[in-house]
Amino acid sequence: MNLFSQIENFVPETAQETSAKQDLLLLIHKYGNALLSRDCEAGHITCSGLVLSPDLNKTLMAYHLIYQSVGWLGGHADGEEDLPGVALREVQEETSVSKIWFLSKKILSIDILPVPAHQKHGKPVPEHLHYNVTYGFLAPEQQKIADKPDENKNVRWIALHQIPELCTEPQMIPIYQKIISRMKAIAVQKQTIPEQITQPLLDWYPAHHRELPWRQDCDPYHIWISEIMLQQTRVEAVRNYYTRFLNALPDIQALASCPEEKLLKLWEGLGYYNRVRNMQKAAQIIMNQHQGKFPDSYDEIRKLPGIGDYTAGAVSSICFARPTPAVDGNVLRVMARLEEDFRNILDNSVKKDITVQLEQIYNPHNAGTLTQVLMELGATVCIPNGAPLCEVCPVSRICMARQNQSVSDLPVRLKKQKRRTEQKTVFVLQYENKIAVRKRPPSGLLASLWELPSLEGHLTPEECVKAAEDWNTAPRELIKINTRTHVFTHITWQMQGVFLKCGRQNSDFVWADPEEYALPTAFRCILE
């Protein structure tokens, strides 16, 4: 979504916000993406994140050195058009929090904030305006936090009622209170989603579900076999296997006593042969311990070999009307979009929370149908691959992700992985009292921003001097080499800064006082 669209989608609720939105849209029309740069003469866009604890009782704030007050977290867009992404990056850089997620990607406030004249890296910065866009985040308190010494100190969690006494900028207090109120309203809206979707889904299912062979009855043996077959296998591929399997092994007793060679032949082509071996073990337990009758409680079903939470929930709810949701990837995807839930669905705690939410709407009259309608919605409408079919979704008007245009961002699936590490040699080429800077390419990381010249890899001192010669800067003296690390969302730069005194200005670079141009923090840290 481009910059104009992001701001245009904000719905102001006060006259002040209406005015701020109109002013910002006019400036975008005049300056375009130049507003994302600190060099823009009209001021520039910043992105803030108000971080609350999951229970909405505390906020994560810091003492800002410029404003000399406790306040929210955020910073300059520095050329990036992804405003929510900027807010997330800034919060993480300023606090070191690792586990954090959007409450919503909806803009919560747009405010025009005056910035007083101040010193930055020993240089004066004149007063100017921040066109600030705010997003809401949630983060657990029990994690490591740290200061960012060049910008803030005393990063900490504070109770919401402490904001008026700790914030010495009185004009900011109503803004914080307004955003907190809106975050709480969003949280309440999320809590009502399960109840809101129940009847529309139950009304939709009879006329729109697929006719599948295992839906002809509620026999637990049939449902069990189908659920095991459908693990990691497409529905269309399972149809014929299911029919053939039941023709050969029509009941639990037949499965329990089937010779292994025949059993594996019946399963041939479905893969993961431990699944069918566990099925036979479970059938034998049912024959020996349950007198051949499939157990009807979730806990007893869950004890059987090869049956996990999902299958136990499906059999319990569909066959025995138990209030036991069957929560798999399909259901997690549906609920993540309906509630605009940016938590990582690979986190087991999220699955447990969604299960508890759904349990509240299950009862003996709707349990089996709700389980199947959620499966059906995820498989045929809110699909895993490609754009969801929102225009035919029975609950699209309730879907918060659709309302806030974040459907394509959900669900969040974060596997634990290390950031990619890149090594760079960054040059501080000095001629008299000036250094060389240049513009970065118009696309990619830090697009169109100013940078210090750099090369990939860590070069030797001799290679550094040779590079400066190739740039026609007539290197005279290697002054020093320092090392710095800068962390982006997906990349870590391990940098060595090479300070070289030069005898010539190369016209391929701009030679200037380093404070004349807005260098991103990734390069600015080399000079500090």
Instruction: Output the six-digit token pair for 246.
Output: 């039941």
Banded pLDDT at 490 (limits 50, 70, 90) = confident
Write the pLDDT tens digit of every residue in 444-463. Answer: 788 778 899 999 999 999 99
pLDDT at position 42: 86
Does residue 218 surpass a pLDDT of 70? yes
pLDDT value of residue 314: 97
Phi, psi of 129 (to 5 degrees): -115, 140
- The pair phi, psi for residue 96, each rounded to 5°, is 70, 10
> For the segment 48-81, what is each residue's pLDDT rounded down to a tens digit?
999 999 999 999 999 998 888 999 999 999 889 9
What whole-number percentage of the chain has pLDDT above 90? Answer: 82
Would you place residue 149 in the very low, low, confident or very high pLDDT band (cuts 50, 70, 90)? confident
Domain 3-171 CATH class label: alpha beta
Mean pLDDT of 179-199: 97
Task: List, for residues 352-402, the tens digit of each pLDDT value.
Answer: 999 999 999 999 999 999 999 999 999 999 998 889 999 999 999 999 999
One DSSP character per residue, 489-501 reads: SSEEEEEEEEEEE
Considering the four listed CATH numbers 3.90.79.10, 3.40.50.880, 1.10.10.10, 3.40.50.300, the one that applies to the domain covering 420-527 is: 3.90.79.10
Residue with tokens 């994302």: 36
pLDDT of residue 519: 83
Give the mean model confidence (pLDDT) for residues 299-322: 97
pLDDT value, residue 428 = 96
C-alpha angle with apex 350: 333 to 222, nearest 5 degrees? 60
Q: Do domains 3-171 and 420-527 have the same CATH topology?
A: yes
Residues 6+ apart with CB under 8 A from 441: 447, 448
pLDDT confidence band for 234 (50 / 70 / 90): confident
Cβ atoms of 28 and 4 within 8 Å: the answer is yes
Q: How far is CA 314 from CA 186, 255, 322, in A?
A: 31, 20, 9
The residue type found at 33 is: N
pLDDT above 70 for 122: no
Q: How confident is the model at residue 157 (pLDDT cuts 50, 70, 90)?
A: very high
Percent of the chain with pLDDT over 70: 99
Buried-state track 184-223, b at ≥16 Cβ within 10 A, e below 16: eebbebbeebbeebbebbeebbeeebeeeebeeeeebbbb
The two tokens of residue 180 are 């907190």
pLDDT in tens, 282-293: 999 999 999 999
Report the pLDDT value the prediction gives residue 466, as an integer from 0 to 100.
Answer: 95
Residue keyed to tokens 């910008």: 151
Nearest one of 20, 2, 4 to 12, comparing CA atoms: 20
pTM of the entire predicted model: 0.78
The residues that bridge with 501 in the sheet, in sequence order, are 430, 477
Q: Which run of H or E residues covers position 454?
A: strand 454-456
Domains of the chain, by residue range, sit at: 3-171, 195-409, 420-527
- Residue 303: its pLDDT value, please? 97
Rounded distance between C-alpha atoms, residue 331 and residue 106, angstroms: 23
Q: Which fold has domain 195-409?
A: Endonuclease III; domain 1 (1.10.340)
Listed residue (137, 44, 46) closest to 95, CA to CA: 137
* Residue 408 main-chain phi, psi, to 5 deg: -70, -15
CA–CA gap between residue 312 and residue 199 (Å, rounded): 24
Round the average pLDDT of the chain to a whole number and report it: 93
Pick from 155, 128, 125: which is nearest to 64 by CA?
A: 155
Q: Are 133 and 83 in contact (CB under 8 A)?
A: yes
Average pLDDT over residues 241-258: 96
Contacts for 411 with CB less than 8 Å, ≥ 6 apart: 332, 333, 336, 337, 341, 345
Structure confidence at residue 514 (pLDDT): 82
Residue with the larger pLDDT of the pair 209 and 121: 209
Please compute the mean of the pLDDT values over residues 34-40 and round it to a whole number. Answer: 88
Residue 417: per-residue pLDDT: 62
Give tens-digit pLDDT for 406-437. 999 999 998 766 778 999 999 999 999 999 99
Q: Catalytic residue numbers? A: 227
